[in-house]
Amino acid sequence: MATTCATCGTAATTNCSLCRQGLCQEHANRWHPLITARQLATTIFNTAVKTPNLLSDILLKEVGQVDYCPDCRELIAERRQSEQIKFLLCALLLMAMVIGLPTLLLLH
Ligand SMILES: [Zn+2]
Ligand SMILES: [Zn+2]
């Protein structure tokens, strides 16, 4: 059975990587897959330990791009935003600990 685009009904050339519905070239949104704050932190940590000079290279290469339907793209955009906030908060917390702990020790 040939798959058709869920939005316009023409022959599908690809499918959404999230909900798996068919998509034509026109309705496919090529985008980076969602990376959770935890995945990002793990990747950064592992790369920074092993090959710090390749950090930006590997981060860009690892995510790649996949296709999303318009609905899922919106969904991913929302989730991405909340993951970004989570990651920022964790980074801030970590920074506060790195700076705050020695300061506390010095004060006592
Ligand atoms: Zn279409
Ligand atoms: Zn979808």
In the reported structure, the alpha carbon of residue 79 is separated from the centroid of ligand 1 by a whole-number distance in angstroms of: 24
Q: How many CB atoms lie within 10 A of CB 59?
A: 14
Token couple for 53: 């000079």
Tens digit of each residue's pLDDT (9 = 90 or more) over 48-105: 888 877 777 766 666 678 999 999 999 999 999 999 999 999 999 999 999 998 888 8
Question: Residue 103 to residues 57, 98, 106, 108: CA-CA distances in angstroms?
Answer: 35, 9, 5, 9
Which chain residues have CB less than 5 Å from ligand 1, an ion? 5, 7-8, 24, 27
Reported as a single tens digit per residue, the pLDDT across 25-50 is 999 999 888 888 888 888 888 888 88
Structural contact between residues 23 and 5, judged by C-beta atoms closer than 8 angstroms: yes
Specify the pLDDT at position 8: 93
Domain boundaries defined on the chain: 14-102
Give strand ranges (E) for the chain. 14-15, 22-23, 29-31, 66-68
State the pTM of this model: 0.67
